[in-house]
């Protein structure tokens, strides 16, 4: 059983579907409410656990009902959770208002996650060292993400950084990053470039990010598949056709969690990217996030319809929709 350690976020999405947005001072009736588990770290941990990994998860929550709900989820999924519970801080929550047209307004309160400090990882250091791979995402303070990557790297553990939401990273961290899983917009932000997805070719971004960081790049491109950049060479991993596109929320987390499991099992980056693409295709065909994350039995090899192709031309294709 591969061991995957995840350092990242947990939060709850509180969604209200409304006929229209209220104006200032107005109380509007007729909404439909729903809530669900979220946070990139938690989603990735659940995906890895469902695909057969032994998962350890480090995060911060509040001493509140939302945080207790997260602990119930992790227990049900067989995840070993190490949680920091700062005083007077709530669990991360996002309040989402969605109009009938699909337009939305979102406000996120990071709560306990914003209180995390690098030293909070001290008690998790031995877990990072014992893992086959450590997965880190950026809904936590950058300095905490950097510390997790550095501790894992110092212990000889392979690392994967999912740079989402995108944020500038110090150059000093790149020797500690083994694998990067950005989309084109996130890659541009890491390179300090215009994040407009149409401003740069996906291959150029992947190659430049690989040259700058030394990491293996798995750039997700939604319906255009995945670009893997390793040793200065670009490999195109073709897209996996989804049975339907119902809800794309969580597809990137599904990809990252699945790719991490494959890497922990010894797969090469191209095979890991294929496995991640299959998981992402399953996720977009189902509604919500946690219910849509697949189990191993859901992913059969018939999902793969073509083989990767290799190119050394950084300008031979344009960027597609990010996953």
Which residues are part of the catalytic machinery?
253
Q: What's residue 198's pLDDT?
A: 65
Q: 60 in the Ramachandran plot: left (φ > 0), alpha (ψ -120 to 50) or beta?
A: beta
Q: What's residue 227's pLDDT?
A: 96
Q: What's residue 105's pLDDT?
A: 85
Q: What is the 3 state secondary structure string of the chain?
A: CCEEEEECCCEEEEEEEECCCCCCCCCCCCCEEEEEEECHHHHHHHHHHHCCCEEEEEEECCCCHHHHHHHHHHHHHCCEEEEECCCCCCCEEEEEEEECCCCEEEEEECHHHHHCCHHHHHHHHHHHHHCCEEEEECCCCHHHHHHHHHHHHHCCCEEEEECCCCCCCCHHHHHHCCEECCEHHHHHHHCCCCCCCCCCCHHHHHHHHHHHHCCEEEEECHHHCEEEEECCEEEEECCCCCCCCCCCCCHHHHHHHHHHHHHHCCCCHHHHHHHHHHHHHHHHCCCCCHHHCCCHHHCCHHHCCCCCEEECCCCCCCCCCCC
Q: What's residue 223's pLDDT?
A: 85
Per-residue pLDDT of the chain in tens (323 residues, 90 and over written 9): 999 999 999 999 898 889 999 999 999 998 889 889 999 999 999 999 999 999 999 999 999 999 999 999 999 999 999 999 999 999 999 998 888 876 778 888 999 999 999 999 999 999 999 999 999 999 999 999 999 999 999 999 999 999 999 999 999 999 999 999 999 999 999 999 987 756 688 999 999 999 999 999 999 998 899 999 999 999 999 999 888 888 788 899 999 999 999 999 999 999 999 999 999 999 989 888 899 999 999 987 443 333 444 443 333 332 233 34
Q: What's residue 302's pLDDT?
A: 40
Give domain limits for the chain. 3-8+40-88+114-311
Is 300 exposed, middle or buried (CB count within 10 Å of its CB: 0-12, 13-18, 19+)?
exposed
The fold of the 3-8+40-88+114-311 domain, in CATH, is 3.40.1190
Q: What's residue 311's pLDDT?
A: 41
């Amino acid at each position: 059983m591969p061991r995957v350690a995840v350092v990242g976020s947990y939060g709850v999405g509180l969604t209200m579907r409304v006929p229209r947005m209220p104006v200032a001072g107005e109380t509007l009736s007729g909404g439909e409410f729903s809530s669900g588990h979220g946070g990139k770290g938690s989603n990735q941990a659940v995906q890895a656990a469902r695909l057969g990994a032994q998962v350890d998860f480090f995060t911060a929550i509040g001493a509140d009902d939302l945080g207790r709900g997260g602990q119930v989820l992790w227990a049900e999924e067989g995840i070993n959770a190490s949680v920091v519970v700062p005083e007077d801080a709530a669990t991360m929550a996002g309040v989402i208002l969605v109009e009938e047209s699909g337009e939305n307004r979102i406000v996120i309160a990071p709560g306990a996650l914003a209180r995390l400090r690098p030293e909070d990882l001290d008690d998790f250091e031995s877990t990072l060292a014992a893992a086959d791979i450590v997965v880190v995402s950026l809904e936590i303070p950058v300095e905490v993400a950097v510390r997790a990557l550095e501790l894992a790297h110092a212990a000889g553990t392979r690392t994967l950084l999912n740079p989402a939401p995108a944020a500038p990273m110090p150059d000093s961290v790149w020797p500690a990053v083994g694998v990067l899983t950005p989309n084109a917009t996130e890659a541009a932000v890491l390179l300090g470039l215009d994040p407009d997805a149409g401003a740069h070719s996906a291959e150029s971004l992947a190659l430049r990010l690989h040259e700058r960081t030394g990491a293996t790049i798995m750039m997700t491109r939604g319906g255009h598949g995945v670009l893997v950049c390793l040793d200065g060479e670009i490999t195109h991993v073709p897209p996996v056709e989804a049975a339907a596109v119902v809800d794309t929320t969580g597809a990137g987390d599904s990809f990252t969690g699945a790719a991490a499991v494959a890497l922990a099992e010894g797969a090469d980056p191209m095979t890991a990217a294929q496995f991640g693409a299959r998981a992402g295709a399953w996720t977009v065909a189902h509604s919500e996030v946690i219910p849509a994350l697949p189990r191993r039995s859901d992913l059969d090899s018939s999902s793969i319809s073509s083989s990767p192709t290799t190119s050394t031309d950084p300008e031979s294709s344009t960027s597609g929709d990010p996953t």
